[in-house]
Amino acid sequence: MDGRKPYIAGNWKMNLDRSHALDLIKTIKGRLGDGNDREVAIFAPSVYLADVSAVAQGSPLGIGAQNFHFESEGAYTGETSANMLREVGADRVLIGHSERRHIFREPNDWSGRKVRKALDEALLPILCVGEKLEERQANRTERLLRRQLDAGLCDVQPEEMRRVTIAYEPVWAIGTGEVATPEQAGEAHAFIRKWIHNKLGPEAAELTRILYGGSVKPDNIRGLLAIEDVDGALVGGASLKPDSFIPIIEFDQ
């Protein structure tokens, strides 16, 4: 990990009722410590953000949204602006999650506009990238990652990478119980870091955290974090229960 602080992020997706959501935040908050040696954040459904961030207040737990729109305001029915997220206590946001890209058909170039807007509005973005099974089978993983990184980071300055996190999430590993092998994850993470090095310079490459996502569980978190260039995890299903999420955030205990 080379001095990069491990970052464990929970992506609740469209799950949990309000009372379970608040209970889970209380439990996580109680187990966090001072947050000096790891960063932990929850990406909650937008309608819960105000309540969830009120509970998290006073702790190092980060609270983020799962999506937003890159325009500041206007006739965008159903959408939420970066400023609205800030107003309800979010300090970060996921961008380009594979479910946004594939189910909701978000175009590649939106991720670049969203990363720019997030940085301008003081939200910490996690840009998600990752290949589908057919792309991996056709040997197109690197080409796909390059295209997503080119689009997502097209308008970012090297010094801004301090505030940007990348999540590598192979689509075939999300919610399937299938995890990338250490070799597959290692190769993809090294490729992403090399891309940052080439486009944004050695310093940006050194400090940018690259998370792995896709069926992360208590029994595989240690192995994943031992892989060079893996600086943390974006956790879906296992972030919904204390029994599975607490051991992940306490991966070294």
Binding residue (CB under 6 A) for ligand PGA from 6, 152, 170, 214? 214
Closest residue (Cβ) to ligand PGA?
236
Query: Active-site residue among 39, 99, 131, 169?
Result: 169
Nearest to 6 by CA among 40, 30, 31, 32: 40
- Which tokens belong to 175? 């919610």
Q: How far is residue 229's CA from residue 13's CA, in Å, rounded to a whole number? A: 26
Cβ(52)–Cβ(31) below 8 Å: no
Other Cβ atoms less than 10 A from the Cβ of 145: the count is: 20
Q: How far is residue 169's CA from residue 129's CA, in Å, rounded to a whole number? A: 6
Note whether 236 binds ligand PGA by CB under 6 A: yes
Options 59-67, 130-138, 194-202, 209-217: segment touching ligand PGA (CB under 6 A): 209-217
Binding residue (CB under 6 A) for ligand PGA from 25, 200, 235, 248? 235
Determine the size of the site formed for ligand PGA (CB under 6 A). Answer: 13
Cβ(125)–Cβ(92) below 8 Å: yes
Note whether 130 binds ligand PGA by CB under 6 A: no
Question: Which residue, 11 or 165, has its beta carbon nearer to ligand PGA?
Answer: 11
Q: Is 250 a catalytic residue?
A: no
Cβ(251)–Cβ(189) below 8 Å: no
Q: What is the identity of the amino acid at 214?
A: G
- Which tokens belong to 203? 């310093």
Note whether 237 binds ligand PGA by CB under 6 A: yes
> What stretch of H or E contains 26?
helix 18-31
**Binding to ligand PGA in span 166-185, by CB under 6 A:** 169, 174-175
Binding residue (CB under 6 A) for ligand PGA from 16, 180, 216, 227? 216
Q: How far is the CB of 128 from ligand PGA (least distance, A)?
A: 7
Q: What is the identity of the amino acid at 28?
A: I
Query: Active-site residue among 39, 97, 99, 189?
Result: 97
Question: Which residue, 62 or 237, has its beta carbon nearer to ligand PGA?
Answer: 237
Question: Which residue, 169 or 231, has its beta carbon nearer to ligand PGA?
Answer: 169
Q: How far is residue 240's CA from residue 13's CA, in Å, rounded to a whole number? A: 9
At residue 64's C-alpha, the angle toward residues 96 and 38, to 5°, is 105
Options 59-67, 85-93, 109-117, 235-243: segment touching ligand PGA (CB under 6 A): 235-243
Q: How far is the CB of 170 from ligand PGA (least distance, A)?
A: 10
Q: How far is residue 98's CA from residue 184's CA, in Å, rounded to a whole number? A: 18
Note whether 96 binds ligand PGA by CB under 6 A: no
Q: Is 169 a catalytic residue?
A: yes
Class of residue 107 by CB neighbours under 10 A (exposed 0-12, middle 13-18, buried 19+): exposed
Note whether 64 binds ligand PGA by CB under 6 A: no
Binding residues for ligand PGA, per CB under 6 A?
11, 169, 174-175, 213-216, 234-238
Active site residues per annotation? 97, 169
